[in-house]
Amino acid sequence: MHISDGVLSAEVLISGGILSAAGTAIGLKKMDVDRIPKIGIMSSAFFVASLIHVPIGPSNVHLILNGLIGIILGWTAFPAILIGLFLQALLFQYGGLTSLGVNTFNMAFPAVIVYLLFIKFVKSGKRPVSMVASFSAGFFGVLLAGVFTSFSLIFTGEEFISIAKMIMVAHLPIMVIEGFITMAVVEFVKKVKPEILDINGYAKRGEAVHEAQVH
């Protein structure tokens, strides 16, 4: 869903830049030192997952992982995705520097939306609830990214309507795939390192068990 330079209108580019700057500012405000390694790992995962592209007009199809990034990072998904997109544009010419703000918003804001909608259920102690919520986060993360990307093109010109439809259809399999990837990763993380999801009580229980074993 990287939109290349020279495609979007100035109005869309400026709007996307402002919205991404606002989202990144919120993300940086919520960032603390303990979260930096987690943000770096998720930014790297985003960077690698997006390297394989199938071109479709001015955009392309690839894994995004923004739903998973949103569940793990919340608002700090903005700076994580921004860094990944900047490096991709700089090193591989995926997307572009002038469209960086729009591309960041199109992928990062859906990550924040799924975080706000599903994180409570992802943290649920009921496994079926957590699994459905995790799948939904991955699925709707891509779906919303496709919607925002399509609107970015449509607001630039009606000639992009057919391409916007192609983008949505082409990403349908990606939505399902990312739903299962997000579900699998969340289940694994909850078993081996639940503190990554900031699940209340897990870390404290681990410390209590460790102290009991020592004594």
User: What does the pLDDT look like over 164-186, one tens digit per residue?
Assistant: 888 888 888 889 999 999 999 99
Residue 53, pLDDT score: 65
Q: Is the pLDDT of residue 206 over 60?
A: no
Tell me what the mean pLDDT of segment 56-67 comes to.
Answer: 74
Check residue 193 and report its DSSP letter.
-
Residue 119, pLDDT score: 95
Read off the tokens for 19.
């919205």
Worst-scoring range by mean pLDDT, 59-73, 99-113, 125-139?
A: 59-73
- Residue 131 identity: M
Q: Are 77 and 108 in contact (CB under 8 A)?
A: yes
Residue 182, pLDDT score: 95
In tens, the pLDDT along 76-122 reads 999 999 999 999 888 888 888 999 999 999 999 999 999 999 999 99
- Structural domains of the chain, ranges and CATH numbers in brackets: 10-214 (1.10.1760.20)
Indicate the pTM of the whole model: 0.84
